[in-house]
Structure 1
Amino acid sequence: MASKAEGRRARKNQFGVKGGVIPPSSQVIHFSPAQWEEFIEAACRLRPLEGLVRYAFVKRLGGAGDGGRDVEARLDTTLTQDRWDLYQAKHYATGLTPTNAFPELAKFFQQLEAKTYPRPRYYLFCAPKGVGNDLGNMINNPSEFKRRFLSDWRQGKTGFKGRSAELTAPLAKLINEFDFAKIRECQTRDLIEWHALDRSAHHELFGMEAQRQNDPDAPASLSPDEHVYVEQLLKAYGEQCGQLLTSDDVMAPGRYQEHFQDQRTLFYCAEGLKIFSRDLYGEEEFDDLLAMVRKGIRPLVNSPSLRTGLERLDKGTSEVSKLRVDDSVLASKLRPGDLPGTCHHLVNRGQLSWVK
């Protein structure tokens, strides 16, 4: 049976919806068409691709003269046939229908015939409420999709008028040769998932609140990750008492036991902050916070007026909580032991020392 402490460690930091804020899947329904295109562009920049880390180039083109492509996402830096994806943004209050989709597809095929751009790898419809049943069934049956599209165009159901409505023989040939399996739905939940890979931007856009769970407790036995800062503590204690001390000495009942365990508790408070940063923002945010602390605390710790390692330790861990670290994204989630604990993390990285 798991202990209480193990149960706390098992809980994962996460983003939660602030009070009064609706979930992202509901918020995107209220975006303007331009905001929807911008959101798709941002999500595509972060989309993980099989065999690639990201798209090589992503650009929003929505508006007049876009040639029927709202967002262009390339697998290579150059625009090459079958090496880019076309994202078509359609923002409607209901699911996308053939009536909504066919005019865009007609424009797309006219641009392919005019060689405005090469054939894409995929043509992706993006709609906040997805595609409706009729269009969805066609997407799942490419041959029927093609037949219905050509039939509707011949019956004048594309929404075009005049010469632009004409389905010429070369255009019909191009459409017949096109693989309609390349026309797909890009689901809103996928766009949200990709966008969430930039945790800070996702948090900012949707009003998501970072929720920090309980910090890990200091384990009964020393972890290999504690080696460097513990050695510095042992040197500081040894300097004061005039003899070499081991970790067993200070973990046993005696003069230094409580102080040593308190320092380990501080280390694990900051370890909890490090895990929180890693889970929601990336470890670089914790690294940036350590850099702020180092700049602020080193001049105090290195003061010539401090003669012993314990004096430097006490000065550093007591004064560090007075530092202003408002520029850090982690600032709003700091707990009382976090900043003192970062001192031990700096020692662990060789960027601070108590005994000279």
Structure 2
Amino acid sequence: MNEDSFKELTPNPQKGLYNSEHVISGIPIPKTKRIQLFNSDEWEEFTEEWASSLQGSYHRLRRYAGAGDQGLDVVGFIESTQFSDGWDNYQCKFYDHPLTPSDVWVEFGKIIYFSYQGSYPPPRKYYFVAPKQVGTKLGRLLANSQKLKDSLQENWKKYCESDITSTMKVKLEGDLLAYFDNFDFTIFDTVSLVEMIEQHVSTPFHVTRFGGGLGPRPAPEIPPKDTISLDHRYVRQLLSVYAQSIGEPQRSVDLSLLDKDPGIKKKFQRQRERFYHAESLRNFSRDTVPPGVFEELQNDIFDGVVDVCESQYETDIDRLATTLTQAAKVSVEASPLASVTRVRDKQGMCHQLVNDEKLDWSNEDD
């Protein structure tokens, strides 16, 4: 071996490949590749999240969790919760390799046997879902129903006969064989990772699972002035606060108070707008982040203002003003909603907390 057998190390990254985000987080891993790195628990979580995106396509979507699954996994009921009204099955499998026929022969067998037995009618469609996707051999069988049927019949004794149920051997003969011969093998198919990701985008779990940031938040609704309701606790308490500020009896306040002082009316409308901002953030969170994220943010606001709110003040309007000022200072950087949370949202959450009887603007209410 001589020097000619070696060459200099000359890394030559593609021009324009890197940007500032790569310096912080590294080069992004494609979503399909990331899914293939999931462990079994992460795959289970992801399939639950993904399945929720299918809700709009079905009357009801359920995951079978009982013992002896009879070949069922994620089941989409088409017209009702009855199998007889049509259903689809999504068989989610976790392997460290692309699915092969030997991995799933028994799954074909279960659907055929248990539908033959009358446990349920055959599904409209039956999909295999796996992190490493479907291997070439299985993919070819799924694309050729006759070849799939012939291959399953050849492999029935080895993979299905003793494994469909633990109570007996299921021999492919007699009436079952006749049923098998007439079974529609075109129902079997697969869902690719690209399809799963496209569907997962519509769930509130996508950004926290894959990153990429929250999309633009719709402009909050401006509350109509003629829709003020005393059913809201925060409204009653605000009116009590403002009544105290102009020397009105606090226990007899009603909406007519707003016409007695233009300054009060303006302040009251500003507080309602803050409340509506927080409500719009709550609604936005339902579509973009997992359940509980907004409530955790609201808890952070509560923890940041409760001691200030419960301090002693000469007037309730001082309590209101000081608490809202404190709310504006509360850091929300730990929340997945941080990038879309504004000062008005944080202050509006205080009114939500009053509605929930966790804070009080006035001791004269209720």
Q: CA deviation at 1:246?
A: 3.3
Contact 2:277-2:345 at 8 Å conserved across structures? yes
Q: Work out which of the residue numbers 324, 328, 342 in structure 2 matches 1:317.
A: 324
Match in the other structure for 2:5 = none
Match in the other structure for 1:340 = 347
Within-5 A mapping of 1:141-180 = 142-143=145-146, 145-147=148-150, 149=151, 173=172, 179=183, 180=185
Change (3 A) 1:299 1:276: same
Q: Distance in 1 between the 2:107 and 2:235 partners?
A: 68
Q: CA deviation at 1:313?
A: 0.6
Matching of residue 259 in structure 1 with residue 294 in structure 2: no
Contact 2:127-2:191 at 8 Å conserved across structures? no
Match in the other structure for 1:124 = 128
Q: Work out which of the residue numbers 238, 246, 270 in structure 1 matches 2:243.
A: 238
Q: Work out which of the residue numbers 21, 30, 42 in structure 1 matches 2:45.
A: 42
Q: Distance in 2 between the 1:41 and 1:171 partners?
A: 30
Match in the other structure for 1:295 = 303
Match in the other structure for 2:86 = none
SS at match of 1:237: helix
Match for 1:264: what amino acid?
Answer: R
Contact 1:251-1:260 at 8 Å conserved across structures? no
Match in the other structure for 2:286 = 278
Q: CA deviation at 1:29?
A: 4.3
After superposition, the C-alpha distances for 1:27-83 in whole angstroms (9 at most, x for unaligned) are: 34444844497775333233258686542xxxxxxxxxxxxxxxxxxx133133333
Q: Distance in 2 between the 1:302 and 1:220 partners?
A: 30
Contact 2:93-2:129 at 8 Å conserved across structures? yes
Within-5 A mapping of 1:1-356 = 27-31=30-34, 33-35=36-38, 40-46=43-49, 47-48=51-52, 54-55=62-63, 75-84=64-73, 86-87=91-92, 104-106=100-102, 108-109=104-105, 122=126, 124=128, 126=130, 139=142, 142-143=145-146, 145-147=148-150, 149=151, 173=172, 179=183, 180-181=185-186, 183-188=188-193, 190-192=195-197, 195-196=200-201, 199-200=204-205, 202-211=206-215, 212-224=217-229, 227-244=232-249, 245-250=253-258, 254-281=262-289, 284-304=292-312, 306-356=313-363
Change (3 A) 1:111 1:238: closer
Q: Distance in 2 between the 1:182 and 1:271 partners?
A: 45
Contact 1:227-1:348 at 8 Å conserved across structures? yes
Match for 2:305: what amino acid?
Answer: I
Q: CA deviation at 1:334?
A: 1.5
Match for 1:281: what amino acid?
Answer: V
Q: CA deviation at 1:86?
A: 4.2
TM-score (norm 1): 0.62
Q: Distance in 2 between the 1:199 and 1:323 partners?
A: 25
> Where do 5+ consecutive residues of structure 1 fail to align?
1-18, 56-74, 93-99, 155-163, 165-169
After superposition, the C-alpha distances for 1:168-195 in whole angstroms (9 at most, x for unaligned) are: xx99948967553563212435533664
Q: Distance in 2 between the 1:220 and 1:190 partners?
A: 46
Identity %: 23
Match in the other structure for 1:161 = none
SS at match of 2:325: helix
Change (3 A) 1:317 1:28: closer
Contact 1:251-1:261 at 8 Å conserved across structures? no
After superposition, the C-alpha distances for 1:209-244 in whole angstroms (9 at most, x for unaligned) are: 112221111223234487321211111111122225
Change (3 A) 1:259 1:224: closer
Match for 1:348: what amino acid?
Answer: N
SS at match of 1:78: coil
**Bigger RCO of structures 1 and 2 (CA < 8 A, at least 6 apart):** 1
Change (3 A) 1:283 1:107: closer
Contact 1:90-1:125 at 8 Å conserved across structures? no
Match for 2:269: what amino acid?
Answer: Q
Match for 1:124: what amino acid?
Answer: F
Match for 2:328: what amino acid?
Answer: S
After superposition, the C-alpha distances for 1:101-152 in whole angstroms (9 at most, x for unaligned) are: 7xx2245448999x9xx989856155888899x957x6476345324x379x
TM-score (norm 2): 0.60
Change (3 A) 1:275 1:127: closer
Q: Distance in 1 between the 2:284 and 2:31 partners?
A: 27
Change (3 A) 1:227 1:36: closer
